[in-house]
């Protein structure tokens, strides 16, 4: 399991990285490398060149920008978990990251890397969609902002163009009556989930005003369950009804650990788990 | 700017300087360290899933099979051969006391993860310890004696 | 675990002596190096002019190689050469994995590399030899193979059908081996039973996943005509014979060295075609050749195990006494039987061990083993026990439920009583020195079943399914020649120990048993130091080198303490006698007034003694000072083997309590208890660690592990992320206790303890899960018991 040969370019600034990437469509970006290197070691990928952007300054900053919390692409998962601003303004993200792999992976894996890679089983892409995040891309023609919900197109397929590099993700603040609640079901701690759910809930007293349900590990990208969310708002939790609704709006794809029927079932009970968490 | 298939880098390992050494671009850090005789860092999967290759880089535990040697430029690395502080002595004594290892293949990675647990200064329950080491595969011990050793280390040190 | 408080074996001497080490949980000082990065594993070895290999492996389960072109690969940077079967066959004779003592076994010859037909995904067909592994892998991509894919036989249940794909046409069908055991008359007994229960269980293929993968460095020294093989195998002398035989080299010119091994569990006791190819290449080139299996190839080439479908039937009388047991077991192996131990052993143990703790006067067992186009299968820790114990204990639980008595009550009614030995298993295998009654009593004390029953009830009201199980089992340990040798295998059941006092006063011990982390070196030291009367740190041990140790069997089937330990004991005692003979002569006194304590020959009645160093110095350097006729032999060798019975058995009782999340299907193991009777424990802590590690490994098979295949015979989950091994978070703490019934077959009285955990855990977990599901009238019958299977059983999906 030794990687195939490739050349290596250590970018000193984002412009050089963009230029290099646009000139070689077999080049790939190396940030944390926690998804790229396993693929290389298993020879699932044979890029011509790795463009290492991990040494570029100022791409890992976490700060407030207007109405958003801006997380620089190179912020590692550990950086994010230990960040005071995140712990204060977006503590749900800290809880989510505790479910991502293990400490040694989180010490290197980057926020931007996970968002850009778009593993359908990963938490962060679904989180970004649920949070109505904005994805900041930098390319030859400058900066471009894409809504997270428009970013994920298919299996490992995103709206990232061949000359673009993801440089930041902006999360709108949650208002005092908005909550991001999540839960997932996995075989072993740190594994990819069999099914997971990010729910953005807006409450009016104890009534749910607004609800966004975004599933992960259920299909080829984050799955938004719009109709089902409406049913939950209107009628609360009803297993059979919600299961039927989910089946009609999401194309569940089975994998090694759970069949599509199981994912559908888990997706349904996850709504109950979320509602229980909400009560607490 | 140009890309190359080998790079010259400088870094330090266990306090020893590696100045301007040439590494193949595709070689991961674990293989590089092992090629220099630092064979305490082990390969179990080359996928980041087993934890056997865990080392400390710039103060943080990382999977050395998922880092290119080229990326170590300017870094300060500690491997299991380089534990010489009082804290790790106590940890190692507890591992010995509780027989928290059998074949020893997972031990370097397990000790690295333990070091990070101790450094966090948090007083963890047994369940929390289990969560922290859940990325280090051990086939021999069944984990219980490792949890015992880490629990005692936390109580002793923090 | 603490030291043993009560003297478990008076034959070994008082525990009040200063050098009493047997029965003490001493830390393994010799193993400290593993915490310093000082292990010496095969991949750590670098030799001058060493080359590395990578194998091209079949991507198909069954195919023909129409043509293979390696010319372009040979030109790849860093490549020394590329071989196919043609070159390797010249240097290595083929082998057959059959033995003569188990009835008819049919398996064709196997060569290191496939010649024309490949029969499992992963089978090696070509090998690149290069300066490093990365360059070797680059060249693999340049080998051009024209494949003709064939239909594959991947379902063991259809392997004997008329339209099955016959893997070896010359054999006519896919039957490898079959055996029937028939004791008494089961049909009659079932007719006479008050209640008859049945079940069919299936167990998925899974594999060992040793953290250190298989590895070998073969170094043929042309000048000496000698080959040294650094190997992370368990049985160096067995390998020595096999290398000599198949490479056609004088056995005395084959040296096998096994240093540190990163876990083996039986995976590394077999002969692998890729490793044989490496030895052949080294002989051909006269250079050291290294092969380390990477994780991906480990999943498809390490032996697999435990794929069984077994139906069972149990008949009991009104009181719950078992009248009859019948099982029918089907197992699918690979396309070849593994060499040299054969792939029949796992099924044979299922037939031999089902029902083992109980008196069952009528017993019938049929085992059928068929070929498949899948990874070869063979012995893996607790060989066959998980299946034998699971089917037995599942049937016993069903019988208990049917006639309305407690789970432990029915077992106690049927145990072979502790005072009724020697006795036999239902299949007719001799049993001695077991304690099922005492062990179960101890387990029940630990578990507090009444409490658990109350919890079950109250939890059910809250919608939580709780269940518990109690099981009993026998574990095969300390095998005699009747296991392999009798069938023609050059696998030694006799082990030796050699011990000497050196000029410095130090003690050197060598043993034919090997170390893979279980603590072989530590316990041998404890036995030697204890019986000799010296400090632990004055003993150093050599293991794992056919040039430097006595001849023997190595480590497998939990034989180290009971067989190797006895040899060490005998050698140490002989050396002590020699020392006392010489001391008596030097000190001009009666031998019986002397003893050895703390490295000194002491006078029992007080007065000046002499240190062992002084005695050794006299013998070695100033022999002229010795009285005439003194026999100055500061060296002793002894050996030991089990005679007259096939195995020494250990027994175990286990219990667990689990809860099931009805929404997710996830099982949580709340508590796990194990009572083990392995006779004398040399180091109680190390015994406890074997049980705990073994249980976790068994839980892996019960809940997580399986090799998933598609219908083309491709393994789907052959990576560390997809194949689910037990990791720390999901595993329970285990409470261990003991009963001690020494084996009467040796002075040391130790039996093996390495495999009971793995053998019993799957059964007790499954029973506990069914105990929980039965509350809703449901059950599971298939391992691993995944969340999906639980949800299906509950009717949720």
pLDDT-derived band at B3, boundaries 50, 70, 90: low
pTM greater than the 0.90 cutoff: yes
Cα separation of A232 and A42, whole Å? Answer: 43
Cα separation of C222 and C282, whole Å? Answer: 10
Q: Tell me which chain B residues have a C-beta less than 8 angstroms from the C-beta of C210.
A: 139
C664-713 pLDDT, tens digit per residue, is 999 999 999 999 999 999 999 999 999 999 999 999 999 999 999 999 99
Identify the residue among C211, C268, C668 best suited for mutation to test binding to B, counting B beta carbons within 10 A and taking the highest.
C211
A189-233 pLDDT, tens digit per residue, is 999 999 999 999 999 988 999 999 999 999 999 999 999 999 999
Structure tokens at C225: 């005509």
B neighbours by CB contacts (3+ pairs under 8 Å): A, C
C442-473 pLDDT, tens digit per residue, is 999 999 999 999 999 999 998 899 999 999 99
Report DSSP state, residue C404: T
CB C479 within 8 A of CB C379: no
B2 lies within 8 A of chain A by CB: yes
DSSP of C680-733, one letter per residue? Answer: S-SSHHHHHHHHHHHHHHHHIIIII----B-TTS-BS--STTTS----GGGPPP
Over the range C656-665, which residues count as b (16 or more CB within 10 Å of their CB) and which as e? bbbbbbbbbb
Using a 10 angstrom Cβ sphere, with 0-12 exposed, 13-18 middle and 19 or more buried, the burial of residue A258 is: buried
Mean pLDDT of chain C: 97
pLDDT-derived band at C316, boundaries 50, 70, 90: very high
Cα separation of C742 and C744, whole Å? Answer: 6
* Alpha-carbon gap: A114 to the closest alpha carbon of chain C (Å): 17
C217-271 pLDDT, tens digit per residue, is 999 999 999 999 999 999 999 999 999 999 999 999 999 999 999 999 999 999 9
Three-state SS string across C592-647, please?
Answer: HHEEEECCEEEECCCCCCEEHHHHHHHHHHCHHHCCCCCCCCCEEEEEECCCCCCC
Q: Where are the domains of chain A?
A: 7-52, 62-172, 178-279
Cα separation of C342 and C94, whole Å? Answer: 15
Number of Cβ within a 10 Å radius of residue C495: 29
Q: Name beta bridge partners: C55.
A: C127
Cα separation of B136 and B130, whole Å? Answer: 10
Strands (E), chain B: 6-13, 16-24, 54-57, 60-63, 76-78
* Alpha-carbon gap: A44 to the closest alpha carbon of chain B (Å): 12
C399-429 pLDDT, tens digit per residue, is 999 999 999 999 999 999 999 999 999 999 9
CB C160 within 8 A of CB C98: no
Report DSSP state, residue B58: T
**Alpha-carbon distances of C605 from C592, C594, C595, rounded to whole Å:** 11, 8, 10
Q: Tell me which chain B residues have a C-beta less than 8 angstroms from the C-beta of C29.
A: 96
Cα separation of C708 and C723, whole Å? Answer: 9
Cα separation of C87 and C281, whole Å? Answer: 9
B124-141 pLDDT, tens digit per residue, is 999 999 999 999 999 999
Q: For residue C530, give the 3-state DSSP assignment.
A: helix
Give the model's pLDDT for residue C1: 63
Report DSSP state, residue A174: P
Number of Cβ within a 10 Å radius of residue C14: 8
- The fold of B6-80 is Ubiquitin-like (UB roll) (3.10.20)
Q: For residue A97, give the 3-state DSSP assignment.
A: helix
Domain B83-157 part of CATH 1.10.150.120: yes
CB A109 within 8 A of CB A76: yes
Structure tokens at C546: 């056919």
**Alpha-carbon distances of B89 from A60, B126, B153, rounded to whole Å:** 35, 21, 10
C110-168 pLDDT, tens digit per residue, is 999 999 999 999 999 999 999 999 999 999 999 999 999 999 999 999 999 999 999 99
Q: Where are the domains of chain B?
A: 6-80, 83-157
* Alpha-carbon gap: A126 to the closest alpha carbon of chain B (Å): 23
Over the range C211-237, which residues count as b (16 or more CB within 10 Å of their CB) and which as e? bbbbbbbbbbeeeeebbbbbbbbbbbb
Q: For residue C329, give the 3-state DSSP assignment.
A: strand
Structure tokens at C566: 């006895």
Cα separation of A166 and A31, whole Å? Answer: 11
Mean pLDDT of A247-266: 96
H runs (alpha helix) in C71-112: 71-74, 85-89
DSSP of B126-147, one letter per residue? Answer: HHHHHHHTTTS--SSS-SHHHH
Parallel, antiparallel or unpaired: strands C144-149 and C308-316 = unpaired
Dihedral (Cα; C311, C316, C322, C324), 10-degree rounding: -50
Question: Domain A62-172, what architecture?
Answer: 2-Layer Sandwich (3.30)
Parallel, antiparallel or unpaired: strands C667-677 and C734-738 = parallel
Give the model's pLDDT for residue A52: 96
Q: Which CATH superfamily is domain A178-279 in?
A: CO dehydrogenase flavoprotein, C-terminal domain (3.30.390.50)
Mean pLDDT of chain B: 96
Cα separation of C152 and C167, whole Å? Answer: 8
Q: For residue C591, give the 3-state DSSP assignment.
A: helix
Q: For residue A111, give the 3-state DSSP assignment.
A: helix
CB B149 within 8 A of CB C743: no
Asked if pLDDT for residue C498 goes beyond 60, the answer is yes
Give the model's pLDDT for residue B1: 47
Contact criterion met (CB < 8 Å) for B134 and C692:
no
Contact criterion met (CB < 8 Å) for A42 and C719:
yes
Q: Which of C496, C492, C498, C511 is nearest to C557 (CA)?
A: C492
Using a 10 angstrom Cβ sphere, with 0-12 exposed, 13-18 middle and 19 or more buried, the burial of residue C589 is: middle
For A7-52, CATH gives: 3.30.43.10
Give the model's pLDDT for residue C349: 97
C267-309 pLDDT, tens digit per residue, is 999 999 999 999 999 999 999 999 999 999 999 999 999 999 9
Residues 62-121 of chain B whose Cβ lies under 8 A from any Cβ of chain C: 79-81, 83, 92, 95-97, 99, 101-108, 111
Mean pLDDT of chain A: 97
Cα separation of C380 and C210, whole Å? Answer: 11
CB A194 within 8 A of CB C724: no
Q: Which of B120, B126, B119, B121 is nearest to B150 (CA)?
A: B126
Residues 185-214 of chain C whose Cβ lies under 8 A from any Cβ of chain B: 208-213
CB C388 within 8 A of CB C349: yes
B34 lies within 8 A of chain C by CB: yes
Residues 705-724 of chain C whose Cβ lies under 8 A from any Cβ of chain A: 708, 716-717, 719, 721-722, 724
Give the model's pLDDT for residue B4: 72
Mean pLDDT of C384-412: 98
A266 lies within 8 A of chain C by CB: yes
Mean pLDDT of C30-45: 97
Q: For residue C39, what are the contacts with CB-CB under 8 A and spacing of at least 6?
A: B39, B40, B104, B105, C33, C260, C262
Q: Tell me which chain A residues have a C-beta less than 8 angstroms from the C-beta of B31.
A: 2
Q: Which of B47, B107, B35, B44 is nearest to C293 (CA)?
A: B44
Contact criterion met (CB < 8 Å) for C295 and A1:
yes
Structure tokens at A140: 């030859």
**Alpha-carbon distances of C702 from C651, C696, C716, C784, rounded to whole Å:** 20, 10, 20, 5
Query: What is the value of ipTM here, to two decimals?
Result: 0.97
Using a 10 angstrom Cβ sphere, with 0-12 exposed, 13-18 middle and 19 or more buried, the burial of residue C645 is: middle
Q: Name beta bridge partners: C40.
A: none
CB C708 within 8 A of CB C770: no
Cα separation of C390 and C202, whole Å? Answer: 10
């Amino acid at each position: 399991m030794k990687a195939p040969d490739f050349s290596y370019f250590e970018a000193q600034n984002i412009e050089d990285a963009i230029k290099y990437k646009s000139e070689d469509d077999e080049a790939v970006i190396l940030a944390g490398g926690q998804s790229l290197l396993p693929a290389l070691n298993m020879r699932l990928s044979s890029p011509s060149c790795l463009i290492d952007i991990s040494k570029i300054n100022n791409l890992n900053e976490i700060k407030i920008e207007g109405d958003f919390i801006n997380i620089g692409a190179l912020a590692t998962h550990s950086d994010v978990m230990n960040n005071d601003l995140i712990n204060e303004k977006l503590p749900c993200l800290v809880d989510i990251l505790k479910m991502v792999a293990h400490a040694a992976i989180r010490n290197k894996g980057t926020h931007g890397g996970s968002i850009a890679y778009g593993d359908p089983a990963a938490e962060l892409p679904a989180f970004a969609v649920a949070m109505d995040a904005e994805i900041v891309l930098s390319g030859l023609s400058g900066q471009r902002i894409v809504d997270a919900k428009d970013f994920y197109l298919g299996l490992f397929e995103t709206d990232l163009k061949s000359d673009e590099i993801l440089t930041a993700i902006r999360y709108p603040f949650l208002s005092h009556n908005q909550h991001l609640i999540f839960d997932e079901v996995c075989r072993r701690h740190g594994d990819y989930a069999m099914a997971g759910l990010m729910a953005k809930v807006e409450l009016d007293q104890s009534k749910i005003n607004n609800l966004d349900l975004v599933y992960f590990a259920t299909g080829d990208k984050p799955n938004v369950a719009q109709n089902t969310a409406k049913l939950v708002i209107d009628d609360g939790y009803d297993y059979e009804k919600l299961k039927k609704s989910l089946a009609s709006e999401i194309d569940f794809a089975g994998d090694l650990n759970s069949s599509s029927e199981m994912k559908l079932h888990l997706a349904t009970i996850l709504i109950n788990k979320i509602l229980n968490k909400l009560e607490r | 700017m140009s890309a190359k298939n080998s790079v010259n880098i400088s870094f330090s390992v266990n306090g020893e300087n590696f100045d301007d050494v040439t590494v193949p671009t595709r070689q991961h850090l674990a293989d590089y360290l092992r090629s220099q005789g630092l064979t305490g860092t082990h390969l179990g999967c080359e996928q980041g899933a087993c934890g056997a290759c865990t080392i400390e880089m710039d103060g943080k535990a990382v999977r050395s099979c998922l880092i290119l040697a080229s990326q170590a430029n300017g870094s300060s690395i500690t491997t299991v051969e380089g534990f010489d502080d009082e804290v790790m002595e106590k940890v190692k004594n507890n591992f010995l006391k509780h027989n928290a290892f059998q074949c020893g293949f997972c031990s370097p990675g397990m000790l690295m993860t333990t070091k990070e647990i101790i450094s966090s200064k948090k007083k963890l329950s047994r369940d929390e310890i289990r969560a922290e080491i859940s990325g280090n595969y051990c086939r021999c011990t069944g984990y219980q004696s490792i949890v015992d050793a880490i629990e005692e280390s936390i109580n002793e040190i923090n | 675990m603490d030291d043993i408080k009560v003297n478990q074996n008076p034959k070994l001497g008082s525990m009040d002596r200063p050098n009493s080490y047997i029965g003490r949980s001493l830390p393994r000082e010799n193993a400290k190096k593993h915490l310093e990065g000082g292990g010496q594993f095969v991949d750590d070895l670098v030799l001058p002019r060493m080359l590395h290999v990578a194998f091209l492996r079949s991507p198909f389960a069954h195919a023909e190689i129409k043509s293979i072109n390696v010319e372009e690969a040979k030109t790849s940077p860093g490549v020394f050469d590329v071989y196919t079967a043609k070159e390797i066959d010249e240097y290595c004779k083929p082998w057959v994995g059959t033995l003569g003592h188990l009835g008819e076994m049919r398996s064709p010859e196997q060569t290191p590399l496939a010649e024309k037909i490949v029969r499992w995904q992963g089978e090696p067909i070509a090998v690149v030899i290069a300066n490093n592994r990365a360059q070797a892998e680059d060249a693999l991509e340049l080998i051009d193979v024209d494949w003709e894919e064939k239909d594959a036989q991947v379902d063991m249940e259809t392997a004997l059908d008329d339209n099955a794909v016959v893997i070896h046409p010359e054999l006519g069908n896919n039957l490898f081996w079959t055996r029937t055991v028939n004791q008494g008359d089961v049909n009659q007994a079932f007719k006479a039973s008050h209640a008859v229960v049945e079940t069919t269980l299936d167990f998925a293929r899974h594999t060992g996943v040793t953290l250190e993968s298989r590895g070998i460095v073969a170094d043929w020294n042309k000048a000496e005509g000698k080959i040294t093989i650094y190997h992370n195998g368990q049985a160096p002398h067995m390998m020595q014979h096999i290398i000599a035989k198949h490479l056609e080299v004088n056995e005395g010119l084959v040296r096998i060295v096994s240093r540190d091994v990163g876990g083996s569990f039986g995976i590394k006791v077999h002969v692998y075609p890729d490793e044989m190819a490496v030895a052949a290449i080294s002989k051909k080139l006269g250079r050291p050749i290294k092969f380390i299996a990477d994780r991906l190839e480990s999943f498809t080439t390490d032996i697999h195990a435990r794929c069984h479908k077994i139906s069972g039937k149990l008949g009991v009388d009104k009181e719950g006494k078992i009248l009859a047991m019948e099982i029918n077991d089907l197992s699918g192996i690979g396309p070849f039987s593994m060499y040299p131990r054969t792939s029949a052993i796992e099924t044979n143990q299922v037939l031999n061990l089902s029902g083992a703790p109980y008196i069952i006067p009528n017993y019938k067992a049929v085992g059928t083993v068929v070929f498949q186009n899948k990874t070869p299968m063979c012995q893996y820790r607790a060989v066959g026990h998980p299946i034998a114990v699971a089917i037995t204990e599942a049937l016993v639980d069903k019988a208990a439920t049917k006639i309305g008595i407690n789970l432990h009550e029915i077992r106690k009614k049927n145990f072979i009583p502790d005072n009724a030995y020697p006795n036999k298993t239902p299949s007719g295998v001799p049993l001695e020195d077991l304690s099922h009654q005492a062990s179960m009593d101890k387990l029940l004390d630990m578990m507090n079943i009444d409490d658990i029953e109350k919890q079950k009830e109250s939890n059910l009201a809250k919608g939580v399914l709780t269940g518990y199980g109690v099981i009993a089992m026998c574990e095969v340990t300390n095998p005699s020649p009747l296991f392999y040798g009798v069938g023609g295998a050059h696998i030694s059941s006799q082990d030796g120990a050699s011990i000497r006092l050196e000029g410095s006063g130090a003690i050197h011990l060598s043993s034919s048993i090997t170390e893979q982390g279980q603590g072989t070196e530590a316990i041998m030291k404890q036995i030697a130091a204890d019986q000799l009367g010296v400090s632990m740190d004055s003993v150093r041990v050599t293991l794992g080198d056919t040039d430097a140790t006595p001849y023997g069997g190595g480590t497998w089937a939990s034989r180290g303490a009971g067989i190797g330990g006895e040899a060490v004991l005998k050698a140490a005692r002989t050396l002590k006698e020699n020392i006392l003979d010489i001391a008596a002569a030097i000190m001009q006194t009666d031998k019986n007034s002397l003893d050895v304590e703390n490295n000194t020959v002491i006078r029992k009645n007080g007065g000046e003694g002499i240190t062992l160093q002084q005695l050794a110095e006299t013998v070695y350097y100033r022999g002229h000072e010795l009285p005439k006729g003194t026999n100055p032999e500061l060296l002793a060798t002894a050996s030991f083997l089990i005679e007259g019975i096939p195995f020494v058995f250990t027994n175990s009782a286990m219990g667990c309590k689990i809860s099931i999340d009805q929404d997710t299907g996830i099982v949580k193991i709340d508590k796990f208890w194990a009572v083990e009777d392995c006779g004398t424990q040399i180091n109680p802590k190390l015994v406890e660690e074997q049980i705990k590690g073994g249980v976790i490994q068994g839980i892996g098979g019960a809940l997580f592990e399986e090799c998933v295949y598609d219908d083309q015979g491709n393994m789907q989950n052959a990576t560390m992320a997809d194949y689910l091994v037990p990791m720390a978070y999901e595993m329970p703490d285990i409470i261990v206790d003991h009963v001690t019934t020494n084996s009467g077959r040796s002075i040391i009285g130790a039996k093996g303890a390495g495999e009971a955990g793995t053998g019993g855990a799957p059964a007790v977990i499954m029973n506990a899960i069914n105990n929980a599901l039965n509350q809703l009238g449901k059950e599971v019958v298939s391992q691993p018991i995944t969340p999906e299977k639980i949800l299906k059983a509950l009717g949720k999906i």
